[in-house]
């Protein structure tokens, strides 16, 4: 961490010493952060899985790189989460032209954080997914690193068609720093070809298919000291778990998922009005494997989503209205297995493999609903290339229900969130700009209920405290200051520096809270 802090200090010193004092006219060619934000906002297709439509509202060639540190923590968190996180992140993305007909967007993200005082889960995906997770009741610190590389290639029109391709590659590593010491590896990549058919200048139809491979592997656990009373827990859904003394010895597990999906889009373009709607679904088939293909069960899910993005631009005002809905229907099959041994009479070798003798279908089920709606207004300037202020509102609803059958147990929660956000340009020196941003949100619990037929350690230590977390109403407020300034490393270079400081706090009923603070610096290039 000391090395990271030193690097950031050196970068800040570098930025502050290379600023050139130039006239306003001489600085007009420097890249502008607000202009880039508005171009990305107008490129509606970029938030869908269909990259071929990104050519309709291209973003100017250039790069934006950000390096930041953050800290967050408090006592308003779920039991299987840590009490604080401290981390470093780096991200960069670039829009460019590969040829006269082919455009590209590339991005890279790196994140490294330390999560303190976490327990009961040694996996990346703890909630509303595969129930066959594992973890230790002894809370400890976790170090996580992730790398995400993404490439989007899209073409200009070939006749009535635009074509595109997205490739996304993510790897991550999470290591527990206390006995029993686990280390989980994550591999997640996707391949998404897409196509847009131009009916005419106003109406367009899009289609994309995608394949995604998701694998998480924990090869085994190690210990530095031997504790004869150390227990390790494997879960099968809600309060159902098995804790074994020394259960970490020889334990390994991996989750392997194949995801298939597709989306259909419709886009309307007219003077001052753009509307994009996308609807799609995906199917996830995930197997859970241990040693000798031992498996407690499998998990599969369907996800249905609907997205709408409306842009209305009138003279110096831009309205952006977004709607998003996502529904998840998942289920886990439980396996009953036996260990089968076979001996080769020629070699004398014996092989062992777990054989499934009975499948209990949909023993654990997941239902999720996620609804979002937002409206944001921008006061434009410079012929729509920047804005003086923005103001927005938000409303959302999130709910989930987990069910385990025979004996039946149910755990459900629902929450409505409403909020306001805005920003204002405090100082405009053309290339030197100072912005202020702020937001307030309120979360209201609509339902939080646990019906567990069996009361045990898991209900007392995990589900019960989690229920209180979901029952709490919350209020949060945050603010940020951003500053951009010109940089020139040599005579013809045109760079814009970027600095941001932000912070906020969430307050919940009962006095619990969660803070979030951070600092970031960056570069915007042509």
Quick one: which of 406, 398, 414 has its CA closest to 364? 406
pLDDT band of residue 248 (cuts 50, 70, 90) is confident
3-state secondary structure of 469: helix
For position 26, what pLDDT does the model report? 40
pLDDT band of residue 25 (cuts 50, 70, 90) is very low
* pLDDT (average), residues 42-50: 96
* pLDDT (average), residues 375-398: 96
3-state secondary structure of 282: strand
* Buried-state track 182-210, b at ≥16 Cβ within 10 A, e below 16: bbbbbebebebbbbbebeeeeebebbbeb
Given a cut of 60, is residue 286 above it in pLDDT? yes
Four-point Cα dihedral 69, 75, 80, 84, nearest 10: 20
* pLDDT (average), residues 277-287: 98
Question: In the chain, what percentage of residues exceed pLDDT 70?
Answer: 94
* Buried-state track 21-43, b at ≥16 Cβ within 10 A, e below 16: eeeeeebeebbbbbbbebbbbbb
Q: How many residues does the chain have?
A: 526
Q: What are phi and psi of 100, to 5 degrees?
A: -65, -25
Alpha helices in 371-460, H assignment, sequence order: 457-458
Beta bridge partner(s), residue 500: 482, 520
User: Which tokens sit at 206?
Assistant: 């899009």
Given a cut of 70, is residue 14 above it in pLDDT? no
Maximum Cα–Cα distance across the chain:
89
Given a cut of 70, is residue 28 above it in pLDDT? no
Given a cut of 50, is residue 10 above it in pLDDT? no
Distance, in Å, from the CA atom of 12 to the CA atom of 2, rounded to the nearest integer, reads 16
Distance, in Å, from the CA atom of 412 to the CA atom of 470, rounded to the nearest integer, reads 9
pLDDT band of residue 15 (cuts 50, 70, 90) is very low
- The pTM assigned to this predicted structure is 0.90
pLDDT band of residue 235 (cuts 50, 70, 90) is very high
* pLDDT (average), residues 152-161: 95
The residue that leads in pLDDT, 315 or 324, is 324
For the chain, what percentages of helix, strand and coil (3-state, to nearest 5) are there? 10, 65, 25
Cβ-proximal residues to 223 (8 Å cutoff; 6+ apart), any chain: 179, 180, 181, 230, 248
Q: Is residue 448 within 8 Å of residue 466, measured between CB atoms?
A: no
The residue that leads in pLDDT, 30 or 376, is 376
pLDDT band of residue 22 (cuts 50, 70, 90) is very low
For position 489, what pLDDT does the model report? 75
Four-point Cα dihedral 266, 270, 274, 276, nearest 10: 0
For position 386, what pLDDT does the model report? 93
Give the model confidence (pLDDT) of 425-450 as tens digits: 999 987 799 999 999 999 999 999 99
Beta bridge partner(s), residue 74: 514
* pLDDT (average), residues 127-147: 96
For position 13, what pLDDT does the model report? 40
pLDDT band of residue 360 (cuts 50, 70, 90) is very high
How many other CB atoms sit within 10 Å of the CB of residue 100? 7
For position 246, what pLDDT does the model report? 76
How many other CB atoms sit within 10 Å of the CB of residue 119? 21
Given a cut of 60, is residue 168 above it in pLDDT? yes
For position 218, what pLDDT does the model report? 94
Given a cut of 60, is residue 12 above it in pLDDT? no
Q: Which of 45-49, 212-216, 373-377, 486-490 has the lowest mean pLDDT?
A: 486-490
The residue that leads in pLDDT, 485 or 26, is 485
Give the model confidence (pLDDT) of 302-312 as tens digits: 999 999 999 99
For position 6, what pLDDT does the model report? 42
Distance, in Å, from the CA atom of 88 to the CA atom of 9, rounded to the nearest integer, reads 14
Question: In the chain, what percentage of residues exceed pLDDT 90?
Answer: 81
Q: Is residue 19 within 8 Å of residue 485, measured between CB atoms?
A: yes
Tokens 């906002």, located at residue: 41
Four-point Cα dihedral 255, 251, 125, 89, nearest 10: -110
């Amino acid at each position: 961490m000391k090395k990271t802090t030193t690097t950031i200090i050196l970068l800040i010193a570098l930025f502050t010493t290379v600023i050139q004092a130039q006239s306003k006219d001489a600085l007009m060619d420097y890249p502008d952060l607000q202009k880039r934000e508005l171009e990305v906002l107008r490129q509606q297709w970029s938030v869908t899985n269909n990259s071929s439509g990104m050519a309709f509202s291209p973003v100017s060639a250039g790069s934006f790189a950000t390096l930041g540190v953050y800290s967050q923590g408090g006592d308003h968190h779920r039991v299987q989460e840590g009490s604080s996180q401290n981390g470093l992140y780096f991200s960069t993305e670039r829009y460019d032209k590969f040829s006269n007909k082919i455009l590209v967007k590339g991005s890279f993200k790196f994140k490294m954080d330390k999560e303190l005082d976490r327990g009961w889960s040694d996996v990346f995906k703890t909630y509303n997914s595969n129930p066959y997770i594992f973890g230790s009741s002894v809370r400890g610190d976790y170090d996580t690193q992730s790398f995400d590389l993404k490439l989007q290639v899209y073409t200009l029109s070939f006749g009535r068609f635009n074509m595109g391709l997205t490739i996304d590659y993510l790897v991550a590593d999470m290591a527990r720093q206390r006995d029993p010491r686990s280390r989980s590896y994550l591999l997640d990549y996707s391949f998404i070809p897409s196509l847009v058919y131009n009916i005419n200048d106003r109406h367009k139809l899009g289609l994309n298919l995608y394949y995604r491979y998701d694998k998480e592997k924990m090869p085994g656990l190690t210990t530095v000291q031997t504790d004869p009373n150390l227990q390790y827990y494997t879960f099968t859904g809600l309060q159902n778990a098995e804790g074994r003394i020394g259960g970490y010895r020889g334990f390994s597990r991996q989750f392997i998922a194949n995801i298939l999906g597709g989306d259909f889009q419709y886009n309307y373009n007219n003077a001052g009005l753009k509307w994009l709607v996308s609807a799609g679904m995906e199917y996830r088939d995930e197997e859970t494997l241990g040693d000798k293909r031992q498996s407690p069960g499998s998990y599969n899910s369907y996800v249905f989503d609907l997205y709408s993005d409306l842009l209305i631009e009138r003279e110096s005002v831009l309205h952006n209205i977004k709607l998003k809905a996502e529904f998840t229907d998942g289920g886990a099959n439980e396996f009953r297995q036996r260990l089968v041994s076979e001996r080769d009479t020629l070699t004398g070798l014996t092989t062992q493999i777990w054989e499934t003798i009975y499948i209990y279908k949909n023993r654990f089920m997941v239902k999720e609903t996620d609804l979002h709606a937002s409206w944001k207004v921008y006061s434009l300037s410079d012929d729509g290339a920047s804005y003086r202020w923005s103001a927005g509102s938000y409303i959302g609803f999130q709910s989930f229900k987990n069910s385990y059958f025979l004996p039946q147990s149910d755990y459900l929660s629902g929450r409505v969130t409403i909020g306001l956000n805005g920003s204002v340009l405090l100082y405009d020196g053309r290339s030197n700009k100072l912005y202020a941003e702020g937001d307030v949100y309120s979360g209201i619990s609509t339902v939080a209920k646990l019906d567990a037929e069996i009361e045990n350690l898991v209900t007392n230590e995990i589900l019960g405290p989690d229920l209180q977390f979901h029952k709490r109403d919350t209020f949060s407020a945050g603010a940020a200051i951003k500053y951009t300034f010109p940089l020139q490393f040599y005579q013809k270079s045109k760079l814009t520096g970027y600095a941001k400081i932000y912070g906020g706090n969430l307050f919940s009923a009962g006095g619990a809270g969660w803070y979030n603070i951070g600092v970031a610096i960056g570069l915007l290039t042509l």
